[in-house]
Amino acid sequence: MKIALIAHDKKKTDLVQFSTAYKTILEQHELFATGTTGLRISEATGLQIHRFQSGPLGGDQEIGAMIAKNQMDMVIFFRDPLTAQPHEPDVSALIRLCDVYCVPLATNMGTAEVLIHGLEKGFISWREIIRDRQEESK
C-alpha cells in the first residue's frame, strides 16, 4: 500500500511518535510525506520515505495528484485545527480528493490508529483491487 504522511507544524511531533509506535506496520508499505514531516519521521525511525515539497510549497498538491491518479491508498494527515494555515485551500483540496477517490483519510491520532490497525488486519486491501482494475483498463 502507498501511504501519505502529512502534519501541520504543531502536529509533527505527534506524527513522529505515531510513526515510531507503528514502525513495524509502516515499514511494510511504501511511504510518502511532505518535506519536513518526512525528514523528521525518517530521522526518528529510519523508515524509507519518498519526500515531496513542504505542504505550503506544493507538497500537498503533489500528494493530491497521486490521489487523483489512484496512486495513493491512505492518507494520514495530522491537522492543527486551532491554527490558521496559509495554504488552507490546498489542504481542503487534498481532503476533497480523498473523498472523491475513496481514499481512507485520518486527520487525527484516533482515526489514524483505527486505520493503521485496519491496514494491519487487511481491511484496506480493497484499495489494491481498485488499483488493479484501473491498471487493467488502461
Longest pairwise C-alpha distance within the chain: 43
Please state the three-class secondary structure of 71-114 as a single string: CCCEEEEECCCCCCCCCHHHHHHHHHHHHHCCCCEECCHHHHHH
The residue from 9, 14, 60, 132 that is catalytic is 60
Helix, coil or strand: residue 5? strand
* CA gap 86, 56 in Å, rounded: 7
Has 14 been annotated as catalytic? Answer: no
CB contact burial 15-31 (16+ within 10 A = b; e otherwise): bbebbeebeeebeeeeb
Q: Which residues are catalytic?
A: 60
